[in-house]
Amino acid sequence: MLLLQPRAVPTALRAPPPRHQRRWRPAAPAPPLAAASGAIAVSSDEDAFTRCSGYLFEEGAATESELPTAYDLPGIAAVYRRRPLLVLRRSLQIGTSFGRWFALRYLDRVNERADDMFELRAAQLRRILLELGPAFVKIAQAVSSRPDVIPPAYLDELSLLQDRIAPFSTEVAFNIIEKELGLPLDMIFSEISPEPVAAASLGQVYQARLRSNGKVVAVKVQRPGVQAAISLDIYILRFLASLARKAAKLNTDLPAVLDEWASSLFRRLTLNTGKSHLMQEMNYREEARNGLKFRELFGKFRDVSVPEMYLEQTRRRVLIMEWIEGEKLSEVRDQYLVEVGVYCSLSQLLEYGFYHADPHPGNLLRTVDGKLAYLDFGMMGEFRQELRDGFIEACLHLVNRDFDALAKDFITLGLLPPTAQKDEVTKALTGVFENAVNKGVQNISFGDLSGNLGRTMYKFKFQIPSYFSLVIRSLAVLEGIAISFNPNYKVLSSSYPWIARKVLTNSSPKLRSTLETLLYKDGTFQIDRLESLLTESLRARTEQSLARNQQEDVDSKRYAIKQVLSFTLTDQGAFVKDLLLQEIAKGIDALGVATLSSATSAAAPRLPFTGGPSPLTSLNEEDLTNLRNLYRLLLLLSKFSQKENSSPAILQITGSNGAIEKEGGSADELSLALYEMTSLPEFLPVLSVIPELPPESQQQLLLLPADLTNRILSRAVARTIRRMFM
């Protein structure tokens, strides 16, 4: 899209020429000083953009008034049915351009020269896309950030499309500005660059200084005839997409996916799959409104910069916004800012449901003060709440290998039809994902998850909802940028801790039900899953902890203890706190029963009229389970409080799976329980951080003993009543 290249402001700007000097003659060439400060040099390669597809813009300038301002396929079709020769000419151009390229690739393989000719063919493909114009450039940009999917030679060539587009005439651009704003140029700006500092498929950017307040701004001007050119290509491509879907018998609705992409360029669209609004990129006022909303939501984040939008001076074809100096994120190899981007994207998607749907490398900059800057808000999306919850649930079930629940999530997200055979789908998903998940969440990549999914998608009629492709793209682009300088980077590894924190703290009834179901799989409390969620949530980088030079060691055990206590003693952690208190109360109640059983067993031989060691009470299977859970909860706490080389006592008395062995019966269970109590000094670090907790957390901590006592007494009373009526 539009790239704002860093350059010195004073040398970039010149006073705008008087209107009468500009209107009747071509624009003067830029002086050397302006060229050195960032003006675009036009190469013969870039001239192909105008030479081969210029007729589209010439025709488009004349027909744009006939086209609908919003994406309306019947309206577009009605216009181009009256121009069959133009449609035929464009179709032949597209067909012959790609046909010739595919024929050459085929001959390369036949002649066993495919590897030798690879880079040459990649360069030829880029030139073809450039010659075909904006629609094809935009499609290429959509795949130009995936080094794990696109071969490097193609990736290098496609990346050039993002900042090497021939600009149109500055004379025309200045006339558009004056016409749209209704004022002479010198009344709007005190200075403006004589040539564009960046050009893209939809428009180009000038640097200027507002006369009203003296601020330096970026002035974005839409390319004349671009809407008509893109409309014609969409009309042709949609027809081809319908043919491809029928010929290949694809489950994914390719025309609908194309409609979604086209809608993001033309208008705000409300989808049947949910309230997923995709904003106009052809109307700059909509883009400015998007930018204002994005700045309001995310501009306050630490190390995130969002340009200010000047909505009053913005029109349909002219956008004025704050100028931001910076370098492309993909070129500066800043791992920290990639993490900032992942956190911001997750907040966009899952917290606010309003996200940047086109975060390719040209739209992400590192500013001169080291912040992540977002540019270009023409393509935004809204993710409705039930789909956000479904996305979180799917990630949660995938990581925890709950493939039966994952199959249901796929139906919720619209990836599978409701009529799909869930048992067969579960079996298939297990085969597809199990190997990838077994590597651990920190090693899962999008490539791993794709695996054999293609055959599974075809068999079970998977479909890719149009909204879903943009959601995945917003995360996949960040992974692609990171992979370019860190091949081991996995976006899911950065995302899952945030998802774990979200599911542990969210008040959504649906997510709480999902969490409870996950932790009580088959009616048994799954402490290992709780441990995994808590551990991952500690890795989550919150807005407060996400700092480039953070002083506190987030990997220290003391930090972990403080984070766990702080979390469970807040309103956000109330649900998890209740679960923990419930399980601890069950365990202490079982421990009391075990203690009473042991005492009566020991005293029985000494009592008269007794025939042997017959305890007055005994542990049933539920008590044994509760006792084991108590041990494992103590183990969980000990893991947070122990030093790395420390070995808590419980590790010495538990089985290999972390559960207490049962061979010794209830007496052995009791012995182990009493022995474990001797390791309480190991938990002193937990007590030592209490003074460091916030006052409100300390107050909540003081209430825990009374709460726990009430729960234990309630269980004891219920147990007594049950025994009375047995």
CB proximity list for 685: less than 8 A, separation 6 or greater: 557, 558, 561, 641
CA 661 – CA 669 distance, rounded (Å): 8
Query: Of 701, 340, 324, 386, nearest to 547 (Cα)?
Result: 340
CA 261 – CA 281 distance, rounded (Å): 11
CA 481 – CA 34 distance, rounded (Å): 31
Sign of the alpha-carbon torsion through 201, 206, 212, 213: positive
Max intra-chain CA distance, the chain: 122
Cα–Cα separations (whole angstroms), residue 381 to 350, 351, 358, 567, 600: 12, 13, 9, 31, 67
Catalytic residue numbers? 358
CB proximity list for 87: less than 8 A, separation 6 or greater: 80, 232, 235, 236
| Residues β-bridged to residue 319 | 220
Burial class (CB in 10 A: 0-12, 13-18, 19+), 8: exposed
- DSSP line for 132-201: H-HHHHHHHHHTTT-TTTS-HHHHHHHHGGGT------HHHHHHHHHHHHTS-HHHHEEEE-SS-SEE-S
- How many C-beta atoms surround the C-beta of residue 203 within 10 A? 30
**Tokens read off for 183:** 């004022």
CA 387 – CA 355 distance, rounded (Å): 14
User: Containing H/E element for 210?
Assistant: strand 203-210
CB proximity list for 571: less than 8 A, separation 6 or greater: none
Cα–Cα–Cα angle for 270, 275, 276, nearest 5°? 75
User: Containing H/E element for 93?
Assistant: helix 84-110
Cα–Cα separations (whole angstroms), residue 138 to 39, 118, 206, 221: 23, 23, 21, 17
**Tokens read off for 514:** 């999902």
What is the Cα gyration radius of the chain? 32
Sign of the alpha-carbon torsion through 596, 597, 600, 603: negative
